[in-house]
Structure 1
Amino acid sequence: MPIYEYQCKACGHRLEKLQKISAAPLTDCPSCDASELNRLVSAAGFRLAGGGWYETDFKTSGKKNLAGDSGSGSSSASPGDGAAA
C-alpha cells in the first residue's frame, strides 16, 4: 500500500497516511477538524538493494556489481562520462 501525503489548507498541518490505492482521499484535518485536507503530489521513494534481479539478470556480464565483488569495475566513472554535450 502506498503512503500518501496530505496538507490542510486551513491550518497548514501535514501528515502521511498509509492507504489502499482504491481508498477515497482524506478530507478532514485531524488537527483543526476542517474539511480542507488535500492530497499532495510527491515523488515515490524506493530503492533496489543487494544482489537482486537487476544485478544478476539484466546487466551485461562486464558491468555486474554483485555483493562480495572486490570492485573489479571502475567506481569513478559516472553514466554520463564520455558523452558529448
Structure 2
Amino acid sequence: MPIYAYRCTACGYQNDHMQKMSDPLLTECPSCKAGAYQKQVTAAGFQLKGTGWYATDFKGGSTASSTSSAASDAPAASCSPGCACH
C-alpha cells in the first residue's frame, strides 16, 4: 500500500499517510482543521506485508551465486590434474 506525504500550507504541519491509490485525497489538516492539506511530490514509498521472497530468500547470507562460484573453483570429478578446463 502506498505511503503519501502531506503538508498543510496554512500551519506547516506535515505527516505521512498510508492510503490505497483509489482513496480520495486528504484535504483537512489534522492539526489546524484548515482545508489546506496537500499531497507532496516525493519518492515512492510502500509497505510489504505477508510472506514472500523479500522475507524468506537468502536468509543466513548464502546465495546461489556464492555456491555456484565455489563449485566452479573445485576441479570436476572427471578431470585429470593437468587438464585444460581449469
Interval of TM-score (by shorter of Structure 1 and Structure 2): 0.5 to 0.7
In structure 1, give the amino acid aligned to 2:66. Answer: D
Structure with greater helix percent? 2
| Larger RCO: 1 or 2 (CA < 8 Å, sep 6+) | 2
- Helix, strand or coil at the partner of 1:30: coil
Which ranges in structure 1 are unaligned for 5 or more consecutive residues?
A: 52-64, 73-85
What displacement does 1:68 show? Answer: 8.0
- CA RMSD in angstroms, aligned pairs only: 2.7
Partner of residue 66, structure 1: 63
Q: 1:32 to 1:16 in 2, by over 3 A?
A: same
Alignment TM-score, normalising by the size of structure 2? 0.54
Alpha-carbon deviations, 1:24-74, whole Å to 9, x = none? 10000000000000100111247x9654xxxxxxxxxxxxx936838x6xx
Q: Any runs of at least 4 consecutive aligned residues in structure 1 with deviations exceeding 6 A, and if so which?
A: none
Partner of residue 31, structure 1: 31
Instruction: Give the aligned length.
Output: 57
Matched-pair identity in %: 46
